[in-house]
Amino acid sequence: MIYLYALAFAFTVVMLLVPLVRSLAIRARFVDQPNRRKIHPEPIPLSGGVAIFAGVIVTSFLFMGHPSLYKTIFYGGIALVAIGLLDDGYKSRSREFPVWPRLLIYIGVAFIPVWQGISIQGITSPTSAGMILFSPAAAALFTVVWVFALINMLNFIDGIDGLASGVCAISSLTIFAASIIANHTDTALVAVILAGSCLAFLAYNFHPARIFMGDAGATFLGYTLAVTAIDGTLKGATLLSLSVPLLALGVPILDTAIVFTRRLIKGSGLHHADNLHTHHSLMKWGLTQVQTVSFLYLIAAVFSLLSIVILLVLR
């Protein structure tokens, strides 16, 4: 029952905060300006990430105190929201924020789980009942790569109304189910709180969006999903169970793989923004924003259900 209360509380906090941060963003002209790469025709407030962050952090503290998982999300979240707001501030003035400061912060943040004892520690041997433990350096490397990748992947798919928040809600509920099956209480709490926060934000962000989460929100969501996936399923996984978090986060992972392949073929830089994402392609084929998002929700749901089936079979 505590999970339902936590979801409802996080949902309520974000629902109440979004109108406030939206109003403040409009007054400060902290808005995403339209351009030839953007789909929206009018300026949209960029402050949604603050409401999502507050919903997750406040609710997590009230329901679980401050174990290492909470500290990891809080410390990393503060850094990501700060650099994200700075980046969003540049966007509101139709300017580009330099990529290197962001990358350095993302890399630094990716080490926070390792510092707090949350890491990919090893993999169960396929030929015996034992576990192949990684060296501290290897465990840190795998963890940092995973977290850094998810921070960017969620940011990449935040290109049309409701996509990132909806996909994150589906992924969070999947990690919640996996954590319940594995009896990881703290991870399940964070996952369901994240789902409640995303669902509340989606009420304002679904097409036509009244507010965007901005880089501050997208990077925080990617980071939190990455950390909860490690704590819930990746600390010591079997070869087959590795597919659970990969499928749960299948849409952003698949989209990133497709985009990077297209950019390599085109010969453009991997970090340069463009219209090569899956959602852009679907809309070029004639789908509306709502149809595109709904289709990608369906793909995410199928991936998530498959991951749960695999986890149940493994038990």
Full residue range of the structural domain in which residue 202 is found = 2-118+127-314
Q: How confident is the model at residue 236 (pLDDT cuts 50, 70, 90)?
A: very low
Closest C-alpha to 121, from 137, 138, 139: 139
Q: Give this prediction's pTM.
A: 0.90
With beta carbons less than 8 A apart as the criterion, state whether 201 and 157 touch.
Answer: no
Would you tell me how many other CB atoms lie within 10 Å of the CB of residue 235?
Answer: 19
Closest C-alpha to 103, from 122, 126, 80, 121: 80
Could you read off the pLDDT of 98-121 as tens digits, one per residue? Answer: 889 999 999 999 999 999 999 888
Would you tell me how many other CB atoms lie within 10 Å of the CB of residue 249?
Answer: 29
Measured CA to CA, the distance from residue 140 to residue 77 in angstroms comes to 19
Q: What is the pLDDT at residue 66? A: 79
* Pairwise pLDDT comparison (185 vs 76), residue with the higher score: 76
Whole-number Cα distances in Å, 8 to 29, 179, 180: 31, 19, 18
Does pLDDT of 122 surpass 90? no
Q: What strands lie across the sheet with 236-237, from one edge to the other?
A: 131-133, 122-124, 236-237
The total domain count for the chain is 1
Does pLDDT of 302 surpass 80? yes
Q: What is the pLDDT at residue 158? A: 81
For residue 244, the SS3 value is helix
With beta carbons less than 8 A apart as the criterion, state whether 191 and 176 touch.
Answer: yes
Could you read off the pLDDT of 22-49 as tens digits, one per residue? Answer: 999 999 999 987 766 556 567 899 999 9
With beta carbons less than 8 A apart as the criterion, state whether 92 and 108 touch.
Answer: no
* Pairwise pLDDT comparison (63 vs 35), residue with the higher score: 63
Q: How confident is the model at residue 189 (pLDDT cuts 50, 70, 90)?
A: very high
Q: Angle at CA 65, nearest 5°, toward 64 and 70?
A: 80
Question: Which residues are CB-contacts of 98 (< 8 A; sequence separation ≥ 6)?
Answer: none
Could you read off the pLDDT of 251-274 as tens digits, one per residue? Answer: 888 887 777 777 676 666 555 555
Determine which helix (DSSP H) or strand (DSSP E) holds 11, and give its type and residue range: helix 2-27
